[in-house]
Amino acid sequence: MARLFPNDIGTRPSGKLLFEEVHPNYNEVYYIPPDVALAEAGLDPAKAESYKKGILDINGQNDYVTIIPINTLPTHKDFLQGKYADLLSITLDGFGYGGAKTEDEVIDLLENLPSCFVKDYDYGLGLRKDYRFIVDILEDLNIQTLVISKKDSTSIDEKGTICTIKYSDFEQIRKTIDRITREARQVSSEVKKISAHNVLAFFLEDETKYPHKDIRKQDGTLARLIAKSSPVLPVHLSKVEQSAAIDLVSSNKSKMAKDQPEALVKLRNDIDLVTLEKLVQTYEEMLAKKLSEDRWQALFNENPFILNMAFGCPIIKIQDQAYVGGRKISGSGEKIADFLVKNSLSNNAALIEIKTPSTSLLNKTSYRDGVYVASKDLSGSLNQVLDQRLKFQQNIFAIKNNSKLYAMETYHVQGFLIVGTMPTEDDKIKSFELFRGNSKDITIITFDELLEKLKHLHAFLSPNLMEKN
């Protein structure tokens, strides 16, 4: 009889087969474990026949063989019980095996089973380990009986407990699994070699003689997936793989939150850190260019948490390009604030006006020695916010009613002006700080100050800093 692992382990003691004829050319085959297996399992070898278990129904008349998979390992907790949780039997229909009423005939029949089957009853009949995924899929569907048929097409019965798979379809599944297994073993071997090389190269500390190796691009997705288990191999996903990974996490986020909350929090933190790093880079690039107000408004609209950096309290964005009143009977004169926000705890409203980094803050020439006056653009912007605030307070009841925004208050409406960049000369810095420090009710923040706040946040969240602390 062919053994499952003839070259790797010693031959197990053979059990016995017991035949019961149901009718001519139809036999039920029972397995009786060897005495040594029964003893190892804590069972009485003297009662061996009482432990018999049906493992085969061989019906030569109707041309089918039914396999009943059981556990035959004496140390297994489910010794002589079903091999699978829900799948009870596997039937081969229309294979022309004929009948079998002796042990030799059963052995011959088993030798002719498809290659994916265990062919030694002492090792428990059923599908080989590489094909356990087929069983997993069927059990996910609550299938109890698998029929592999050369007569019928692939289907599931009305009760949903019997799955018939056409033999050609089953072979396609088997070949697909075989191909993946073959490729996985080949690629796994390559990844192990490269990993061993990289670890050795790290200790030798000679990049010239022992350069670091990477997974070759042509090794494809499978190589990169296997390489993920090696900390010494960088893995670069394609855009398609990135999208698939994002979709996978998104569709499983609730289960991950329940099963692996710490891992999900770490993933979220890592993503937040990378997103923040990219935002800092984008902000720096925009700051180096002369861009319009619209571009900056779009950036803040897409990343409203930047506006939080301007506040000393948590805020919620209510509306960008918000109407705050001032419309005349002619329809002109309406006031539009770039952003309407509110304190997330008190609901107190605030208005934010966005200018550009290139907006001048001070006049180019000094008013007196060491004293610079606020520029027309800065003072005009300041008055613009004050006017918006006035109109907003005057029209708040109509705005709340028309917009159905009742959870918004005007206890003390703050105004925020994001404008220009910090001067570099000491006298100009002093003049600017004096001006904005005495600007009642309106907080003035420069674009480069917001950038510094973002950088400090990124530095605070970075793992290296966390480890040092």
Half-sphere exposure of 42 (CA within 13 A, CB side): 5
Half-sphere exposure of 329 (CA within 13 A, CB side): 0
Query: Following DSSP, what letter does each residue of 162-202 receive, concatenated?
Result: EEEEEHHHHHHHHHHHHHHHHHHHHHHHHHHHHHHHHHHHH
Buried-exposed string 299-337: b where 16+ CB fall within 10 A, e elsewhere? bbbebeebbbebbeeebebbebebbbbbeeeeeeeebeb
**Residue 335 φ/ψ, nearest 5 degrees:** -105, 130
pLDDT value, residue 139: 93
Please say whether the beta carbons of 58 and 97 come within 8 A.
yes
Please say whether the beta carbons of 128 and 117 come within 8 A.
yes
SS3 108: helix
Please say whether the beta carbons of 445 and 418 come within 8 A.
yes
pLDDT value, residue 215: 55
pLDDT value, residue 4: 46
Residues contacting residue 28 through CB under 8 Å, at least 6 positions apart: 19, 20, 22, 54, 56, 57, 58
CA-to-CA distance for 457 and 453, rounded, in angstroms?
Answer: 6
pLDDT tens-place values along the chain, 469 residues long: 544 444 444 566 789 999 999 999 999 999 999 999 999 999 999 999 999 999 999 999 999 999 999 999 999 999 999 999 999 999 999 999 999 999 999 999 999 999 999 999 999 999 999 899 899 999 999 999 999 999 999 999 999 999 999 999 999 999 988 888 887 777 777 777 777 777 777 777 777 777 767 655 444 544 554 444 444 444 455 565 556 566 666 666 677 677 777 766 666 666 667 778 888 999 999 999 989 999 999 998 888 878 877 776 667 777 777 766 645 433 444 667 888 888 888 888 889 899 999 999 999 999 988 899 999 999 999 999 999 889 888 888 888 777 777 788 888 888 999 999 999 999 999 999 999 999 888 999 999 999 998 888 878 777 654 444 4
pLDDT value, residue 214: 65
CA-to-CA distance for 424 and 432, rounded, in angstroms?
Answer: 11
Please say whether the beta carbons of 125 and 77 come within 8 A.
no
Place of tokens 């979220």: 268
pLDDT value, residue 25: 92
pLDDT value, residue 277: 85
